Amino acid sequence: MQDEEKNEAAASATGEAQPPAADGTTATAEAPKNPNMKWYIIHSYSGFERKVKESLESRVAAFGLQEKIGKVLIPTESVTEVRGGKKYTSERMFYPGYVLVEMDMDDHVWHVVKSTPRVTGFVGTGQQPTPLSDEEVQHIVYKVADSREKPKLKVKFEKQESVRITEGPFASFTGIVDEVNEDRETLKVMVTIFGRSTPVELEFNQVEKVA
């Protein structure tokens, strides 16, 4: 099987014509995207997710599997930390040890992916890989896109904590945290305005902790 894969890779790399399919037709270089592709999750050694992505993309090119294997995605989110008054944004993995692959699954595709270095297997029941449902695709794949547009702020706020407002009409005011909404990343801060305590709703990135 390894010799067969090497021959396929060599043929693809040298640009030799591929043999005709069983029905006598030959594959075209630019075929329409395969509508049968579904998203699958593969398990990799933790810490080697990016290596697996690179290796898999190289194998797709070597074996000419662009119509059988589509996107390879590492679910990550952008996280912003505030250190010394400055914001630093970095990428953090949602699911360490897992890589998403868009595939039209068959035995050959299964073997090519499964034999990729540092891949330990597919997520599924028994020996059969299970594709993600439409709902799971929405939750995982599109969550990645959303997080890059609006990075999460990696900071924890607590009730009764003192904060300073850094943006908006109340910039430079200080107040006391009254409510924390982790999901929406918002705070209700009690700010003293004209001698009266007034609640102001702010996003996490509009305040900073008072040392």
- Which residue in 49, 53, 72, 67 sits closest to 12, CA to CA? 67
Query: 46-100: per-residue pLDDT in tens?
Result: 889 999 999 999 999 999 999 999 999 888 777 666 666 667 777 777 778 889 9
- Which residue in 155, 141, 64 sits closest to 101, CA to CA? 141
| CATH code given to domain 2-9+34-153 | 3.30.70.940
Q: What is the biggest distance separating any 2 CA atoms in the chain, rounded to whole angstroms?
A: 85
Q: Assess whether pLDDT exceeds 80 at residue 124.
A: no
Query: 19-42: per-residue pLDDT in tens?
Result: 444 444 333 333 447 888 999 999
Alpha helices in 64-184 (DSSP H): 107-114, 134-149
Q: Report residue 10's pLDDT band, with 50, 70 and 90 as the boundaries.
A: very low
- The residues of the chain that CATH labels 2.30.30.30 are 162-209
Q: Report residue 151's pLDDT band, with 50, 70 and 90 as the boundaries.
A: low
Tokens found for residue 35? 């509508």
| CATH code given to domain 162-209 | 2.30.30.30
